[in-house]
Amino acid sequence: QPVTVEVGLGDRAYDILIGSGLLSRAGEEISRRLPGTRAAVVTDENVAAAHLDTLKAGLEKGGIQPTVITMPPGEKTKSFAHLEEVVDGILAARLERGDVVVALGGGVIGDLTGFAAGIVRRGMNFVQVPTSLLAQVDSSVGGKTGINSPRGKNLVGVFLQPRLVLADTGVLDTLPIREFRAGYAELAKYGLIDRPELFAWLEVNWQKVFAGGPERAQAIAEACRAKADVVARDEFETGDRALLNLGHTFGHALEAATQYDGARLVHGEGVAIGMALAHRFSSRLNLASPDDAARVETHLRAVGLPWRMSDIPGELPDAEALLSFITQDKKVSRGALTFILTRGIGQAFIAKDVPASEVLSFLRENH
């Protein structure tokens, strides 16, 4: 039986179902909640090869006729050109407003498809079927959708909450190990933000999460609970939701500094290094104990994630250049930066007045 986590957004509340075998039950789960009988399924080539037939059969069994739109895999697919293809595909399938748009894939497909679903006919029913660990614990929940602009990542999009999220934990067996680890960094993030018992549990059970079985679903469900809580409290990120950016300030700077070259660093790896740095930095500012920073580093290293800047292959720009990536990424008021810092494992907080000079000397020491 799958675990159900509800995202409490009043009349827009929705369920996240987590468990194995959910693709085969997709039609039943969707038609129980939504009236439409037709669906557009948007996916990428990798995911289609491994899981599309199972999902199609699952939809048909529930009386839903799918039209499939297949995109190339990769971050470059989050573009205006591909958005246009998806929009056209949905319209060509003659879907009406009550019908559903289904995203079958990782965060790239989820973000692109959600945006298309948000603008076609001013908003269609949207269902997320996340297939990467990152998408199951993070991007499929919360309603942020969008594409990239040549001027930066995720700059164009809308908030559109899905009507249902089906996280089939079995599909993760075909995910490349490096992508699994990258998603794991975002899973561990919830422990580090405000669930110290989750982090302690992961330190003991992470191998079982990687292997599959009940611990995997349990960990994903806990992550979804954490994300659902934050989203229900602060849907549009005017406050608390920013805590989800733990590790992302350093992480985004490292992604930019490596030209978003996935061969060197994928997003979750940047977040892993970023979380380790955020703890180290907090300890340098005497906010957290160095033992907590060491604990984070030890765990990331144990699971095979990079945890320090020197783990990134190739040359990195110097500390000044890294700081400029950070200040580009966010508003700087009079030399002060907003950072997610921590008082220890599970005690992250939003610090609004971190001096850029402190960040610079920290980056020099840890380069």
Calpha distance 146→135 (Å, rounded): 14
Exactly one of 4, 149, 174, 357 binds ligand NAD (CB under 6 A); that residue is: 174
Smallest distance from ligand NAD to CB 315, Å: 25
Q: Is residue 149 part of the contact set for ligand NAD (CB under 6 A)?
A: no
Smallest distance from ligand NAD to CB 260, Å: 10
Sequence-ordered list of residues with C-beta below 8 angstroms from that of 172, at least 6 positions apart, any chain:
131, 132, 133, 136, 180, 212, 216
Residue nearest to ligand NAD (CB): 107
Q: Is residue 20 part of the contact set for ligand NAD (CB under 6 A)?
A: no
Smallest distance from ligand NAD to CB 195, Å: 18
Nearer to ligand NAD among residue 74 and residue 214 (C-beta) = 74
Catalytic residue, from 78, 144, 216, 295: name it: 144
Residue 167 CB-density burial (10 A; 0-12 exposed, 13-18 middle, 19+ buried): buried
Smallest distance from ligand NAD to CB 160, Å: 10
Strand, coil or helix: what is 40? strand
267 is catalytic: yes
The pairing of beta strand 147-149 with beta strand 152-156: antiparallel
Nearer to ligand NAD among residue 304 and residue 335 (C-beta) = 304
Q: Is residue 131 part of the contact set for ligand NAD (CB under 6 A)?
A: yes
Q: Is residue 252 part of the contact set for ligand NAD (CB under 6 A)?
A: no
Q: How far apart are the first and last CA of the chain?
A: 48
Q: Is residue 269 part of the contact set for ligand NAD (CB under 6 A)?
A: no
Sequence-ordered list of residues with C-beta below 8 angstroms from that of 11, at least 6 positions apart, any chain:
none
**Range 34-73, binding ligand NAD (CB under 6 A):** 44, 46-47, 50, 73
245 is catalytic: yes
Q: Is residue 142 part of the contact set for ligand NAD (CB under 6 A)?
A: yes
Exactly one of 154, 298, 333, 357 binds ligand NAD (CB under 6 A); that residue is: 154
Query: Which tokens belong to 107?
Result: 């965060």
Alpha-carbon distance values, 274 to 85, 154, 185 (Å): 35, 19, 10
Q: How many C-beta atoms lie closer than 10 Å to residue 162's C-beta?
A: 30
DSSP string of 206-225? HHHHHH-SHHHHHHHHHHHH
3-state DSSP: the chain helix, strand, coil percent, rounded to 5?
55, 20, 25
Q: Is residue 170 part of the contact set for ligand NAD (CB under 6 A)?
A: no
Answer whether 38's CB lies under 8 Å from 93's CB.
yes
Four-residue CA torsion sign, 95, 100, 103, 107: positive
Sequence-ordered list of residues with C-beta below 8 angstroms from that of 167, at least 6 positions apart, any chain:
16, 17, 18, 19, 22, 130, 136, 140, 220, 224
Q: Which stretch binds ligand NAD (CB under 6 A): 6-14, 138-146, 213-221, 230-238?
A: 138-146
Nearer to ligand NAD among residue 131 and residue 258 (C-beta) = 131
Exactly one of 83, 117, 129, 175 binds ligand NAD (CB under 6 A); that residue is: 175
76 is catalytic: no
Q: How many C-beta atoms lie closer than 10 Å to residue 68's C-beta?
A: 17
**Range 90-119, binding ligand NAD (CB under 6 A):** 105-109, 111
**Range 231-250, binding ligand NAD (CB under 6 A):** none
Residues identified as active-site: 122, 144, 186, 227, 237, 241, 245, 248, 252, 267
The residues binding ligand NAD (CB under 6 A) are 44, 46-47, 50, 73-75, 78, 105-109, 111, 131-132, 134-135, 138-139, 142, 144, 154, 171-172, 174-175, 179, 267
